[in-house]
Chain A
Amino acid sequence: MTMANDFRGEPKEFAVVIPVPTVITRGQIHVADKALIDHLDAYSSPRLVEYFDEDPCRVMMYDRSMAPSAMGNAKAAREESRARSLGVTIEARYTVGEYDILILSATQSNGLETWLRENGYTIPPGASYVLGSYIRQNMKFFVAKVNLQEQAKLGFSYLRPIQVAYESPKFMLPIRLGTVNAAGAQELFVYALTRKGRVETTNYRTVKLPSDVDVPIYIREDFAPFYKALFNEQVRKEDMAAVFLEYAWDMNWCDPCAADPLSRDELKKLGVFWLAEENSGGAANAFLTRLHVRYDRAHFPEDLVFQETGDRQNFQARYVLHHAWEGTGDCEAARMYRRNLNERREREAHNVASLTGWKLGEIRKKMNLVANESPGEKKWWELW
């Protein structure tokens, strides 16, 4: 599991608390290169007619805003006896890269909450209920914060992704701690690299985003706001109760490519351990699924549970631009073409309106639809 976070505050205020199924040893933790996630993101992101595309062993999580923040710089070494008196056991303590990492287990949620507070973690009110249910399920807590000295030594100005390798039949992602904080909806991207096929959630609907839709040329300049509006609109249409599939593709190729497919070396760094078992010259037998979730407590009451399906059908969120022929020919075919062109542009405007919820009038204005009506062409009523 690789966790990347787009935390924008002071590094000293950053911390994550993640329930994990087992105690994690030092060798199971690694700090990755941020470029890996950036490449994965570029390769699989929704695209404008530039295209692209197994074993529930690896989930990559790219979290845009989750994380209870740490207040102040707590002492690295806390009295173990105090922890014990609160029913908290520090199972392990590591410094990996720029992170100080603790693996905690606890017997009661109040004790854990108190311990975290005393050690400078800001825990939102109500978190102890959520912590309690994870404690009852014998889960451990992976707690990481930034070691400023190490960070200065390493010279990184940003937070690198943390990787944790573990074996567990629990193919799930705990999101409930992130929903305790009532700061509105959270945005989460899940990248899953699997051997067999597409990954989907079993306790929420997984919905394919609208794709292969013709849109006007101006969207090329406006793609980011267009896609944002499209996603907002789809979330609204599904009543926020769905997980969206943005990309599902065999890692060997893409068509067309938003970015080159990841190399075998990059895949390995992301945890695709099974590559080593296969012929090094052969195809990289890895299937990438990219899921995009906007969640809050009301619509996502339980953690995300996944399953790996046998589905190897490729899917990408792709939007098609058609450049018009701009010749000046005046044959019958050209006149027909121009007539159809106007209809096509109208259709494209409607597509954008229905995908994004934007007003049709504004889209038409941006497309210069009226101005584009081929000048000099006779209207049908110009008979007299």
Chain B
Amino acid sequence: MKPRFDPRLYQITALTALLIYGISALHFDVTVARSTLILGVAIGAQALCSRIWGVRFDPRSAAISGLSLCLLLRSNSVVLVLIAAVIAVGSKFVIRWRGKHIFNPTNVAIVALMLFTPRVWVSPGQWGNLAFFAFLIACLGGLVVNRAARSDVTYAFIAAWCALLIGRSLWLGEPMTIPLHRLENGALLLFTFFMISDPRTTPDSRAGRMLFAAMVALGGAYIQFKLFRTNGILWSLAACSLLVPFIDALLPAERYSWNSHGGSPWSVAYSRLLSLSSAPLLRTPSAASTSPKETQRFSIGPHRSSSSATQIGP
């Protein structure tokens, strides 16, 4: 069954709309010319890597990475931002484990550059706290994750993050306006609906994704409120991504593929639940192919080689 629409097209449209809004209304520190250049380099890098690794060229995931970088990463140096675009795309081909890339491309590019140079930064405050905007971005994001059939990780993360922020404020005796103000943040929504929801880098099983989301939230809160570092959730996502292969080994399930999950997210979730509940907790990777026929036919199991074109998603 071919999907009616590729969820990535929704993502590209939503991210483009956000970028236009950011540049025109919020005066983001990025120009149209620079954005075009970043996009061009990301797609160019994808073309080059596809050629080297001998897979079919598909510009969509590279476009998503490029757009996300335009929205998030800031620098006075255009070269550094372009390096980020190359790292984002390159990471999908190079940093892999059992045919699955480890990091969300945009996330790893931002974190790598922030680690190695003081000349880049991310401005979490750039979105402001306009309720209208929060609503808009949430709707757009909700649409995207529903199409990508991985809304569970988003909901789990936002639930954990709300619990942490509200719990902390209750403990400190702060008014609820403080956690609400922190939640009404464009950068947080962008992270929740567009980054952590990336179906190619989250754990394969639903239970794994719940665990993963909770860990990212805990790590983010620790970095923000204990280490007093900005962008806690970005650092936390990169760190927790390293644990995904372990979570997959512990809680295996079928692998996500962009081209096989275009149908109703509920049917996919249901079939995944079935496969989870009918299997013992510790299964070998090849046992994942015992999941229901309908989804199995279009999925690429972890035992397959990495040369399949459908595996190179964002």
Contact = CB atoms under 8 A, between A and B. Distances in A.
B73 to A, nearest CB: 11
B266 to A, nearest CB: 37
Nearest to A54: B118
Contact of A301 (B74, B124, B181): B181
B24 interface: no
A302 B127 contact: no
A196 B120 CA distance: 11
A220 to B, nearest CB: 28
A311 B76 contact: yes
A62 B120 CA distance: 29
A302 B181 contact: yes
Contact of B173 (A132, A238, A301, A313): A132
Given A136-B173, A171-B228, A313-B76, A241 B128 contact: yes
B227 A169 contact: yes
B74 A203 contact: no
Interface string B202-241: 0000000000000000000000000111100000000000
B284 interface: no
B172 A137 contact: yes
Among B26, B125, B171, B182, max chain A CB count under 10 A is at: B125
Interface string A202-216: 111111100000000
B278 interface: no
Nearest to A126: B175
Contact of A129 (B29, B171, B173, B228): B173
A309 B126 CA distance: 13
A201 interface: yes
A302 B172 contact: no
A225 interface: no
B175 A200 contact: no
Contacts of B76: 310-313
B277 interface: no
B123 interface: yes
Contacts of A307: 121, 230
Nearest to A242: B128
A206 B181 contact: no
Given A169-B228, A171-B228, A310-B118, A203 B181 contact: yes
Contact of B125 (A170, A203, A311): A203
A310 B173 contact: no
A22 to B, nearest CB: 13
B175 A301 contact: yes
Contacts of B120: 310
B24 to A, nearest CB: 14
Interface string B160-197: 00000000000111110110111001000000000000
B34 interface: no
B129 A310 contact: no
- Contact size range, B: 20 to 34
A202 B125 contact: yes
A203 B126 CA distance: 9
Nearest to B187: A202
Contacts of A313: 76
Given A310-B119, A311-B74, A204 B171 contact: no
A238 B25 CA distance: 11
Contact of A196 (B118, B172, B230): B118
B173 A309 contact: no
Contacts of B177: 301
Contact of A241 (B129, B229, B230): B129
Interface in B140-172: 171-172
A310 B75 contact: yes
B27 interface: yes
Contacts of B117: 310
B228 A207 contact: no
Interface residues of A, number: 33
A374 interface: no
A261 B207 CA distance: 60
A133 interface: yes
A136 B171 contact: yes
Nearest to B169: A133
A302 B182 contact: yes
Contacts of A208: 27
A136 B125 contact: no
Contacts of B27: 207-208
Nearest to A129: B173
Given A136-B173, A310-B117, A204 B74 contact: no
B125 A133 contact: no
A239 B184 CA distance: 15
A196 to B, nearest CB: 5
A310 B127 CA distance: 19
B75 A129 contact: no
Contacts of A196: 118
Nearest to A201: B125
B173 A206 contact: no
Interface in A206-234: 206-208
A108 to B, nearest CB: 10
B75 A200 contact: no
Contacts of A200: 123, 125
Contacts of B181: 203, 301-302
Given A302-B178, A310-B120, A205 B128 contact: yes
Interface string A90-123: 0000000000000000000100000000000000
Contacts of B119: 310
Contact of B123 (A136, A202, A302): A202
Given A132-B172, A136-B172, A202-B230, A301 B178 contact: yes
Interface in B98-140: 117-121, 123-130
Contacts of B171: 136
B109 to A, nearest CB: 16
Contacts of B129: 204-205, 241
A204 B181 CA distance: 9
A171 B76 CA distance: 23
Among A200, A202, A239, max chain B CB count under 10 A is at: A202
Contacts of A205: 26, 125-129
A204 B124 CA distance: 8
Interface in B60-104: 74-76
10 contacts: A171-B228, A202-B124, A203-B124, A205-B26, A206-B123, A208-B27, A302-B181, A307-B230, A310-B118, A311-B74
